[in-house]
Amino acid sequence: MSLPKLFQPKQVGEITVQHRIVLAPLTRNRANKEHVHGDLAVEYYSQRASMPGTLLITEATYIARKAGGYPHVPGIWSEEQIAAWKRVVEAVHARGSYIFLQLWALGRQAFPAVLESEGLPPSSYVSSSDVLLLEVSSTPPRPLTTAEVKEYVQLYATAAKNAVHGAGFDGVEVHCANGYLPDQFLQDICNKRTDEYGGSVENRCRFPLEIVQAVTEAVGVRKTGVRISPWGTFGGMRMADPRPTFTHFVTQLRARFPELAYLHMIEPRTTGNIDVSDVPEGDSNDFVRDIWAPRVIISAGGYTRQMAIEAAEKYDYLTAWGRYFISNPDLPYRLLKNIPLTPYSRDMFYIDESPRGYIDYPFASEPQTQ
């Protein structure tokens, strides 16, 4: 029997991966207080790059200090951060693998107290509109002015340049999923604006499309990916019917940026880091695939080996793996050889600056050394 497609090479923008198992972007809280990575992250990403030709997507990374609002998350705005990421990238490349950096702005999901602890004024708690997210704050965010929206677009472009030209990343992923800032513009339950960035579907898609435009101009369309979660409830999201909005968004991406490295979509069976037990009948990303195929799609959410093999055969998908890539540093090798997976411990997902549950999960065999 020939090797399943899951374990066959594929062109993704400018790179050729050797298999279709991708490290999903995963917040791990291992950066220091100044949002700079150290040796731990170099080891962590290097371990996950151990099978040559693996594509890794970094944890979500702040484009600017004011785009943050959780502690111990890395950034990509300072020289020190760029230098730290460069060490990660070099370690991954030394393994013959590839790495994209995920560009992040929290908007209303930021904790106002964390912003304040970073010396930022209360007015830096922002979103598309003043719609409360009670999980994080009892006061509403401040709507960005039209001029500030445009400034954010530039912050994304600068961060992309820092990542690709500064740190040497193979590309960047624009995080438009999970109720973070671009998603806060896309979805009407949060976006109540009356300027050119709110109201109609076209207007709600404007900010994310301008980000993609600026990022692709900064680093190249083939070095840019986009992540969406049309069905996710994470961050207080989920429109009554996400299809018209995301149909427009993905159709525009295809029309304007047909050469994007990939479109990354989260399946309705997962939201944040948990599985949804009762996905409503009819919730499906098929409409996204219908627009985007035959371009490259990365699909994320609760995959098993068998599901990933089928998704690669049937739809040509790459599949992104989160929780099992945390507990199995050599996940692609294990899936290839059908070696049982080590279970993950949720209580070690987010231990600030700790090596525990980060770089100490075992390899099935000794990691290959250079």
Is there a contact between 321 and 331 (Cβ–Cβ < 8 Å)?
A: yes
| Contact positions with ligand PHB (CB under 6 A) in 160-189 | 177-178
3-class secondary structure, 78: coil
* Number of Cβ atoms within 10 Å of the Cβ of 279: 15
**Residue 357 Cβ, how far from ligand PHB at the closest point, in Å?**
15
**Residue 87 Cβ, how far from ligand PHB at the closest point, in Å?**
23
Nearer to ligand PHB, 68 or 305 (CB): 68
Nearer to ligand PHB, 211 or 309 (CB): 211
Distance CA 144, CA 75 (A): 21
Counting residues that bind ligand PHB (by CB under 6 A) gives: 6
**Location of structure tokens 């429109």:** 239
- Where does residue 370 rank: exposed (0-12), middle (13-18), buried (19+ CB within 10 A)? exposed
Of the candidates 288, 225, 211, the one whose C-alpha atom is nearest the C-alpha of residue 251 is 288
Q: Cα–Cα–Cα angle for 310, 312, 318, nearest 5°?
A: 130
**Residue 323 Cβ, how far from ligand PHB at the closest point, in Å?**
12
**Residue 114 Cβ, how far from ligand PHB at the closest point, in Å?**
12
Nearer to ligand PHB, 56 or 177 (CB): 177
Q: Does residue number 272 form part of the binding site for ligand PHB (CB under 6 A)?
A: yes
**Residue 234 Cβ, how far from ligand PHB at the closest point, in Å?**
6
340: which DSSP letter?
Answer: P
Nearer to ligand PHB, 267 or 330 (CB): 267
Q: Does residue number 220 form part of the binding site for ligand PHB (CB under 6 A)?
A: no
CA distances from 45 to 85, 165, 290 (A): 11, 20, 33
**Residue 195 Cβ, how far from ligand PHB at the closest point, in Å?**
26
Instruction: Name the β-bridge partners of 319.
Output: 21, 299
Rounded to the nearest 5 percent, the helix, strand and coil shares of the chain are 40, 15, 45
Q: Does residue number 302 form part of the binding site for ligand PHB (CB under 6 A)?
A: no
Among 44, 156, 180, 303, the one annotated catalytic: 180
User: 180 catalytic, yes or no?
Assistant: yes
**Identity of the residue numbered 164:** V
Q: Does residue number 300 form part of the binding site for ligand PHB (CB under 6 A)?
A: no
* Number of Cβ atoms within 10 Å of the Cβ of 162: 26
Nearer to ligand PHB, 177 or 312 (CB): 177
Q: Does residue number 60 form part of the binding site for ligand PHB (CB under 6 A)?
A: yes
Tell me the two tokens of residue 13.
Answer: 């923008």
**Residue 8 Cβ, how far from ligand PHB at the closest point, in Å?**
29
Nearer to ligand PHB, 30 or 334 (CB): 30
For helices 39-48 and 79-94, angle between their N-to-C axes, nearest 10 degrees:
30
Nearer to ligand PHB, 254 or 269 (CB): 269
State the binding string over 118-157 for ligand PHB (x if CB under 6 A, else -). Answer: ----------------------------------------
Of the candidates 168, 182, 6, the one whose C-alpha atom is nearest the C-alpha of residue 100 is 168
Q: Does residue number 367 form part of the binding site for ligand PHB (CB under 6 A)?
A: no
Q: Which residues of 220-248 are buried (b: 16+ CB within 10 A; e: fewer)?
A: bbbbbbbbbbbbbebbbbbbeebeebbbb
Q: Minimal CB distance to ligand PHB: which residue?
A: 27
Q: Does residue number 27 form part of the binding site for ligand PHB (CB under 6 A)?
A: yes
What amino acid positions are annotated as catalytic residues? Answer: 180
Residues of this chain that bind ligand PHB (CB under 6 A): 27, 60, 177-178, 234, 272
